[in-house]
Structure 1
Amino acid sequence: MSASDPRLAGLAPEVIATLHAGARALRDGRLPQALTLLHDAQRQAPQHPEPLRYLALAQLQGRRTEAAVALLRQALGLTPDDAQLHSDLAAALAASGDAEAALAGWRHAAALDPALVSAWFNLGRNLQQQGDTAEAIVALERACALAPQALPPRVLLGDALVHAGRFAEAAGHYRAALAVHPACGDAWRGLSNIKTMPLDEADAVALRAQLQRADVVASDRIAMLYALGKLEEDRDRHAEALAAFSAANAQQKALTPWSADAFRAYMQQALAATATLPAPLDPRLGEEVIFIVGLPRSGSTLFEQILAAHPQVEGASELPDLGIVIQQESRRRGVPYPQWIAQASAGDWHRLGREYLARTARWRQRRPRHTDKQPDNWKHAGILRAMLPGATIIETRRDPLETAWSCFKQPFYSQPHFANDMADIALYMQGCAHAMQQWRVRDPARIRLHVYEDLLATPEARIRALLADCGLPFDPACLDFHRAGRSVRTASAAQVRQPLRADTARALAYGLLLEPLLTLLQAPPPL
């Protein structure tokens, strides 16, 4: 923001000074001071939209989305065709959970001002999050054309192209980002995740050079260490790979420590609270849904790809909706989950199930059923027999050492994360297996276990069993799952576009180097 900014036209110098001070406080994370200054600016110029806009941005940073929406609507009442205001309103609507209205807002902003980069970028980012990869690519290409040196649109376009299976194009955009900023961790992360296009010696030299720099921010350094670890593993330099992955995880854990005690407490509460649930009002509610749950890196993307090849199933990937419905109910009750489970009636569970189905209805527009493969949904598997009793739950498992090692070397966006420490991985895996076993006993007709190695050993037999467990007739297209053209929005996007391979295991090649991890898995700490 500068005094010559046309958006500030008509404001007195003293108001501009107050607005500048408020904007700086907001940028620096000093929210209370920012709110005070921006309120002052708005009171001094109540009929100007810019103080209202900045005050709304501050409210949004403070997670007061309703206040932000109201302020931006007030500003639009003053200047109805302001593209930036429409774009900011869309961001506030997205934060409030109204995804469709947000997308409409960004589209309108881009139509009002086709040169507004933020509108195209946010439109593309949110379309991608909703699985509309083709349209997201168009929007992000527009953002990159308007701002060719900007890193976020370039990297996100690379991600979208990976999800669409256009790996060479994606790599080109990641490398374009690195040409602008050679230490761009997200670009290195993207390149490293294209498993079918391994990094080369020139990349090794570049990574090591960037890691020597003292001015690299922590997030970029961590991402580059993960990429270096993957590069070294691909070259069978296992000691060097382990050292890079260990350094990345240690630095990430120091920034965002994961609480083993909180996890233990959660598991004890969830298992106790779900022991007795009311009989559902409609036992068939949720028949449209196939949940794929379990640990990350356990083959869940592969199982979803097989199901999504079926003409009756839409592969929706990792949906946030179940968690959002539960969070909203916790806020409504003023009690954290799972502490309110015992107080929920059959009517409450029916209402929550219908909310989930309403939120995910768009995934059933083309096909009658959809998958939801958010791995963390295993934590809620115990309530589904009351909330969505007709849903199918497929738990996926893979060799424990292979799963644990794959988690340890995978950079996860969501932090804090159990995968940053080998002892935490062992605890988490034990907790998941223990809880799912109890919930499977309580709901044996709906919770089915499928093992990755069994699928590799007898593909057709296990695919037939998977379809039968989901109540689906056999379809030969499921045997050719790798030919499906759907968007795949996980780190396994490249692998699931190839036929089944028995040579994907990596942990055994490390031999005694992974003995500490194997020991933890064989004798994990008690829950």
Structure 2
Amino acid sequence: MTQQTTTPGAPAADPRLAGLPASAVAHVQAALQALQRGDADTALQQAGRVLAGTPDHPEALRLAGIAHAVGGRHELARDALQRSLERRPGDALVLIDLGNAQQRCGDREGARASWRSAAALAPAHPMPPYNLGRSLQLEGRTDAAIELLSQAAGLAPDFIPARILLADALVHAGRLDEADAQYREALWRNPACGDAWRGLANLKTRPLSEEDREQLALNHDRADIGEPDRVAMGYALGKACEDHGRHAEALAALQSANGRLRREAPWDAGAFGARVDAIIAATAHLPAPVEPLPGREAIFIVGMPRSGSTLFEQILAAHPEVEGASELPDLELVLRGESTRRGQPFPAWVAQATAGDWRRLGGEYLERTARWRERCPRFTDKMPENWLHAGVLRAMLPGATVIETRRDPLETAWSCYKQHFYRLPHFSCDFDDIAAFIRDCQRAMDTWRERDPGHVHLQSYEALLRDPEGVIRALLDACGLAFDPACLRFHEARRSVRTASAAQVRQPLAADTGRVDGYGELLAPLRAALARAGLSGT
């Protein structure tokens, strides 16, 4: 879900166009039409023609700011919108779009201030509470987000993005019945809403009904829907068919959805493997840390998606000393910022980094994540892709604990193939790409565990199912935590869970969570891909 901009129609009598000649009004209307069809360049040209004759007109500046934002030029968008606001103080529409630009520029507090001002000026407008709620939800402030998103959905019942984001937040809070109702309300308004079907499919503990399957099959093939909705419904149709034992149809639906995504953005497994080679080599020799303890607060949970990482985090978050922060982008952002500063991509600069550099970067990470230690001394960072960066942690955050979660390769691979990931290109759309990615992840983590055995630990999902208490005790010991019986009742922990497993970790452990057996020989190609990568599965 994205922040929403404001591009209302602007007839000639609109007071927002006061002071413009008729020719300029025509350019404003042309700019609006261009924005409505997503043509940012034409919109900017039309707004520029207005500004050439009437410099600093607030509405032309606003439209120029929106056009810059659509084109990804967020600093230019912010500057144009600030100029617009200076010339028309108290303009709620400008404040809404200014907040969006500020957020994109990294000014989170400035964005929220703009949206709050807009809400005070236009209390009936749904955009300020929607954008505020979205911002808070991304930070894990789920209860506050639910309140704001409920307000937005109430102000504009047909504004489906607000309803979907509200449903997502309710899932994260464990309020699954309410979430289900919101997704279905969205589908009542638009039966081909891919985001609503995606949300229902991600309630993995609840099977989709036969009626759901029929509705998905009917709407999936409509000619009047966009590709994102068709892809999302394809994944949901795969789940619905699997839920009802129609495995051949499930596989066909998932093959179609994954094929569409892969054609949109192909994954380059060879290039990715070469990158992993470069990272492993670059992190072989790192300077000894200045101090041994920085980072002790952090517990990184890394590895393959769909390997049980959310479950292990839920167990740790049930401990009274641990805050479950879910998937944080901060480690990648810190390293990306250093790459920008040095003018070299990661890991090209790793060999030049001194112990002092790593200490500085570790401090930056801890500063960025400080809010997750407001209630507890320790916190989890469960971004699975952090395995790519785990090799530098012994220099950057030498006191941190790294937990790698592993699940049977076949179950992991199939679960990834069924999951709709939004970050493209993605490895999960092709069996051979999935197998190569699992192999790269395992060989990198094996290397880093050998280099730093005191801080990098392997946890097996299947072992947890076989011996929950024994594995949980070992997990807590690896993290330097005393045993607490609350960790055995992890499903009772009340926290925001912002991953695709949010519904699953609200339940006790199930002895049988496998899904591949029902497919039999239908998954022979996936087994063959894993075998070619040197992996084996059930």
TM-score with structure 2 length normalisation?
A: 0.94
Output aligned runs, 1:113-262, within 5 Å.
113-262=122-271
For the residue of structure 1 that corresponds to 2:49, the secondary structure is helix
In the alignment, does 2:110 pair up with 1:73? no
Deviates more, 1:326-335 or 1:30-39: 30-39
* Distance change in 2, residues 1:349/1:13 (3 Å): farther
Deviates more, 1:82-91 or 1:220-229: 82-91
Offset, 1:28: 4.2
Report if aligned partners of 1:291, 1:393 keep a CA contact under 8 Å in 2: yes
Equivalent residue number for residue 361 of structure 1: 370
For the residue of structure 2 that corresponds to 1:196, the secondary structure is coil
In the alignment, does 2:107 pair up with 1:88? no
Query: Which one of 64, 68, 89 corresponds to residue 59 of structure 1?
Result: 68
Report if aligned partners of 1:312, 1:369 keep a CA contact under 8 Å in 2: yes
TM-score with structure 1 length normalisation?
A: 0.96
Equivalent residue number for residue 408 of structure 2: 399
In the alignment, does 2:465 pair up with 1:456? yes
For the residue of structure 1 that corresponds to 2:438, the secondary structure is helix
In the alignment, does 2:347 pair up with 1:347? no
Equivalent residue number for residue 495 of structure 2: 486
Deviates more, 1:327-336 or 1:407-416: 327-336
* Distance change in 2, residues 1:261/1:26 (3 Å): farther
Query: Which one of 416, 440, 463 corresponds to residue 425 of structure 2?
Result: 416
Query: Which one of 303, 314, 334 corresponds to residue 325 of structure 1?
Result: 334
Query: Which one of 45, 54, 57 corresponds to residue 54 of structure 2?
Result: 45
* % identical equivalent positions: 57
Report if aligned partners of 1:140, 1:156 keep a CA contact under 8 Å in 2: yes
Q: Distance in 2 between matches of 1:174 and 1:140?
A: 14
* Offset from partner CA, 1:461-504 (integer Å, 9 cap, x none): 11111111111111111111000110111111111011111121
Q: Distance in 1 between matches of 2:403 and 2:507?
A: 22
Query: Which one of 436, 456, 465 corresponds to residue 474 of structure 2?
Result: 465
Equivalent residue number for residue 434 of structure 1: 443
For the residue of structure 2 that corresponds to 1:370, the secondary structure is strand
In the alignment, does 2:13 pair up with 1:2? no
Q: Distance in 2 between matches of 1:126 and 1:102?
A: 9
For the residue of structure 2 that corresponds to 1:7, the secondary structure is helix
* Distance change in 2, residues 1:6/1:488 (3 Å): farther
Report if aligned partners of 1:427, 1:525 keep a CA contact under 8 Å in 2: no
In the alignment, does 2:388 pair up with 1:376? no
Q: Distance in 2 between matches of 1:465 and 1:98?
A: 41
RMSD of the alignment, in Å? Answer: 1.7
* Distance change in 2, residues 1:216/1:47 (3 Å): closer
Report if aligned partners of 1:127, 1:133 keep a CA contact under 8 Å in 2: yes
Deviates more, 1:140-149 or 1:326-335: 326-335
Offset, 1:231: 1.0
Q: Distance in 2 between matches of 1:367 and 1:108?
A: 33
For the residue of structure 1 that corresponds to 2:301, the secondary structure is strand
In the alignment, does 2:289 pair up with 1:277? no
* Offset from partner CA, 1:51-104 (integer Å, 9 cap, x none): 222222222233333332222222222223222222222111211122233233
* Distance change in 2, residues 1:343/1:65 (3 Å): farther
Equivalent residue number for residue 5 of structure 2: none
Offset, 1:23: 3.7
Equivalent residue number for residue 447 of structure 1: 456
Q: Distance in 2 between matches of 1:443 and 1:48?
A: 61
For the residue of structure 1 that corresponds to 2:10, the secondary structure is coil
* Offset from partner CA, 1:310-357 (integer Å, 9 cap, x none): 111111111111112222222222222222222222222222211111
Q: Distance in 2 between matches of 1:398 and 1:466?
A: 16
Equivalent residue number for residue 24 of structure 2: 15
Offset, 1:251: 1.3
Equivalent residue number for residue 97 of structure 1: 106
Deviates more, 1:279-288 or 1:121-130: 279-288
Q: Distance in 2 between matches of 1:12 and 1:358?
A: 52
Offset, 1:525: 7.5
Deviates more, 1:45-54 or 1:384-393: 45-54
Aligned residues: 526
What is the one-letter code of the residue matched to 2:218?
A: A
Equivalent residue number for residue 314 of structure 1: 323
* Distance change in 2, residues 1:120/1:431 (3 Å): same
